[in-house]
């Protein structure tokens, strides 16, 4: 590997990259990312507690699921957000929880079986399709779609030296391109007037605000942004990172 390639990957490149984005805030943010996560017990309505980041609950609740809705959780594993959506439906409507990975899908099934009461499982279907192609076989079906996209997950990176050692900006670009394809598919699956929540646990603007800008250029005039939020652990009592945007599909 050449010197220039080495300079573009690994911990030093990671810190240079995010120092340019966050400036003097970066050292404190990096320390907060390296601290142990603080999952919270999600209790109400479950057979037993499920622990997840409080920011994740906020993102799932932002979807505004109502009893009777047809809901798609496009990248559902490991399953925390699916639990939030299923409880909101309370056994009514339909919830499709999808994940392409067989291993992650197996974990999703276990989370559902272990935590949801039986009456909240009867309307839930676990599937394993390619999220980037969903709109090809189901168009304008769902009232609510959640896309918690696979992302750079920098909090995991800073706590995993092996993964951080091979980090490079090209990985972020690849994940952002994949997320854009998924977001387009999610919009196609959504009914006119329906609501879509796009979320990531990334701190990269390229996967968050920047991706919304690309989405606006790729699907102009089809949707409006209702709200967007970014919770970072240095200013959110250890919660996050989590970015989420609430999108409405125009009639």
Which are the catalytic amino acids?
A: 201
Point out which residues pair with 73 in neighbouring strands.
Answer: 97, 146
Distance between CA atoms of 127 and 160, rounded to whole angstroms? 30
Cα separation of 234 and 212, whole Å?
24
Q: Copy the structure tokens of residue 31.
A: 């320390």
Residues 6+ apart with CB under 8 A from 174: none
CB 72 within 8 A of CB 48: no
Cβ neighbour number for residue 3 with a 10 Å cutoff: 7
């Amino acid at each position: 590997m050449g010197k220039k390639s080495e300079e573009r990957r690994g911990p030093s490149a990671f810190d240079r990259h995010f120092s340019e984005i966050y400036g003097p805030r970066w050292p404190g943010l990096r320390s907060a990312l390296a601290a142990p996560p603080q999952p919270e017990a999600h209790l109400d309505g479950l057979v037993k507690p499920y622990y997840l980041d409080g920011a994740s609950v906020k993102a799932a609740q932002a979807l505004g699921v109502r009893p009777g809705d047809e809901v798609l959780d496009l990248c559902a594993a490991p399953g925390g957000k699916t639990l939030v959506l299923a409880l909101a439906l309370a056994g009514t409507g339909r919830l499709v929880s999808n994940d392409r990975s067989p291993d992650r899908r197996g974990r999703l099934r276990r989370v559902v079986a272990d935590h949801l009461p039986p009456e909240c499982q009867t309307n839930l279907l676990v599937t394993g399709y390619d999220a980037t192609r969903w709109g090809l076989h189901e168009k304008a079906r769902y009232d609510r779609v959640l896309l918690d996209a696979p992302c750079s997950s920098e909090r995991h990176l800073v706590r995993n030296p092996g993964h951080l050692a091979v980090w490079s900006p090209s990985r972020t670009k690849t994940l952002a391109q994949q997320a854009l394809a998924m977001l387009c598919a999610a919009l196609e699956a959504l009914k006119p007037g329906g609501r879509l929540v796009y979320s990531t646990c990334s701190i990269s603007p390229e996967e968050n605000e920047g991706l919304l800008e690309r989405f606006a250029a790729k699907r102009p005039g089809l949707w409006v942004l209702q709200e967007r939020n970014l919770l970072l652990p240095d200013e959110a009592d250890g919660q996050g990172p989590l970015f989420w945007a609430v999108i409405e599909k125009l009639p």
